[in-house]
A and B are shown apart, each in its own frame.
Chain A
Amino acid sequence: GAVVSQHPSWVICKSGTSVKIECRSLDFQATTMFWYRQFPKQSLMLMATSNEGSKATYEQGVEKDKFLINHASLTLSTLTVTSAHPEDSSFYICSARDAQGAHPDTQYFGPGTRLTVL
């Protein structure tokens, strides 16, 4: 149980284009999902908390207009990197809480998406 998927697993795009990343909870409903960014050999940095049916809560320093988050259903959250630039190249990971599971406080992570902007 508590499986989270992400799509795509990797993407290469040209500078100036937008990229959408999907995060799905496969076997549970997630009212809250989280989006993280991880640079090589570094820890995870929380970007935003995605709430189903409402606006996302962004961490300080994260541009809301740059990283658009939509959590339209209890099993899907999307992160769109708009007008991507090379400095946006990174590993993006989502997570979700299974509030009904054995460990309701635990966040379960997707496999991550490696974004490369040329």
Chain B
Amino acid sequence: AQKITQTQPGMFVQEKEAVTLDCTYDTSDQSYGLFWYKQPSSGEMIFLIYQGSYDEQNATEGRYSLNFQKARKSANLVISASQLGDSAMYFCAMREIFFTGTASKLTFGTGTRLQVTL
């Protein structure tokens, strides 16, 4: 079963505007983590922001904020004041913790391609 869903294959936003990239997830675990990564055309995966399932406040990192709605199982990424350099693929990912406590895996969504226009 798909655990991370990104329903927007592509998004356009004008420079200096804000944009929201959607992400919903599915898990039966109480403890999990949610991540957003940016992948520019160079291929590198750049960590943007993290939200823990027990965090009461939405995570923020500079122009990035995560709109975490636990009951809806959504973790949308909000980019404020978009810049041309924000044009890239954006992946939502979830980390689940297993009972063994070993390093757990990330499950990625299919990604959203964001294009920032002038």
Is chain B a partner of chain A in the same complex?
yes
A interface with B by C-beta (< 8 Å): 2, 31-32, 34, 38, 42-44, 46, 49, 51, 91, 93, 95, 97, 103, 105-112, 114
Taking a contact as CB atoms under 8 Å apart, the answer to whether B50 and A44 are in contact is: no
**B51 to chain A: closest CB distance in Å?**
10
Taking a contact as CB atoms under 8 Å apart, the answer to whether A105 and B95 are in contact is: yes
Interface of A is mostly: strand
Q: A44-B91, A106-B35, A106-B50 are in contact. Are A34 and B105 (CB under 8 A)?
A: yes
**Number of contact residues on B: which range applies?**
20 to 34
A103 to B52, CA, bound (A): 10
Contact of B47 among A43, A93, A108, A112 (CB under 8 A): A108
A79 to B43, CA, bound (A): 18
- By a CB distance below 8 angstroms, the chain A residues around B43 are 38, 91, 93, 111-112, 114
Tally of contacts, chain A with chain B, CB under 8 A: 53
Contact of A105 among B44, B50, B108 (CB under 8 A): B50
10 contacts between A and B (CB under 8 A): A34-B105, A42-B110, A43-B91, A43-B108, A51-B103, A107-B47, A107-B106, A108-B47, A110-B44, A112-B45
A32 to B111, CA, bound (A): 25
- By a CB distance below 8 angstroms, the chain B residues around A109 are 37, 44-47
